[in-house]
Amino acid sequence: MDHIAKHKIDFSYINLRDDIDRSKVEIDYDKTTALNTNWKKYSLEKCELVQELKTFYQDVLGCKVSPLYYVQLAGDSVEKHIDTSCKSSINIILNDGSHAPINFYQGDEKYMYFYRCALLNVGGYYHDVPVSHTDRLVLRFALQAPFEDARNKLKEGVMYESS
């Protein structure tokens, strides 16, 4: 299955989360058309560590990279969908401890994955996130590169694979 490839980053998750908390700016978006109306969505243009990662990913992948920070509130789920605004994404879960998995769907089959940091094929397959019992903090780099291309370019010593 080409749903997910786990990924390692050379950053402290705590420092990254602290930097985001200091510099995030909430985005007011049209919640009437959003799949997940209770989510909070933030811009990270002033977050230095996130901008370093964005530059790294743009250099490695050779594509547009858009970082955003999402908070999936406890008790909410993410409805089943295919992303249309990007071809793939690198998601980093910034929670300490346990958090909800991501489910991918292929035909009648459902595949459940737990990850801390991963390249996800969100533009290629339907996926959802079940109810989380705690707020789920997600740093997301939306990529304008297909999953296979991104995985191949990242494979050079910066990630490991898992299905």
Q: Which pLDDT value is given to residue 34?
A: 60
Please state whether 107 falls in left (phi above 0), alpha (psi between -120 and 50) or beta. left
The string of DSSP letters for the chain reads --SEEEB--SS-HHHHHHHHHHH-EE----TTS-S-TT-EEEE-TT-HHHHHHHHHHHHHH-S-EEEEEEEE-TT--EEEE--SS-SEEEEEE--SS----EEEEETTEEEEE--SEEEE-TTTSEEEE---SS-EEEEEEEESS-HHHHHHHHTTTSB----
Q: If the chain, 163 residues long, is cut into consecutive pieces of 10 residues, what is the mean pLDDT of each piece? A: 78 84 78 65 90 93 94 90 94 86 95 94 95 91 96 73 46
CATH H-level, domain 4-27+36-154: superfamily: q2cbj1_9rhob like domain (2.60.120.620)
Structure tokens at 157: 């010593």
Beta-ladder partners of 65: 143
Q: Which pLDDT value is given to residue 29?
A: 60
Contact 9, 67 (CB under 8 A): no
So where are the chain's domains?
4-27+36-154
Structure tokens at 138: 């997600």
**Which of these, 115, 95, 112, lies nearest to 1 by C-alpha position?**
112
Structure tokens at 109: 């089959």
Q: Which pLDDT value is given to residue 63?
A: 95
pLDDT, tens digit, for every residue of 76-116?
A: 888 899 999 999 999 999 988 778 899 999 999 999 999 99
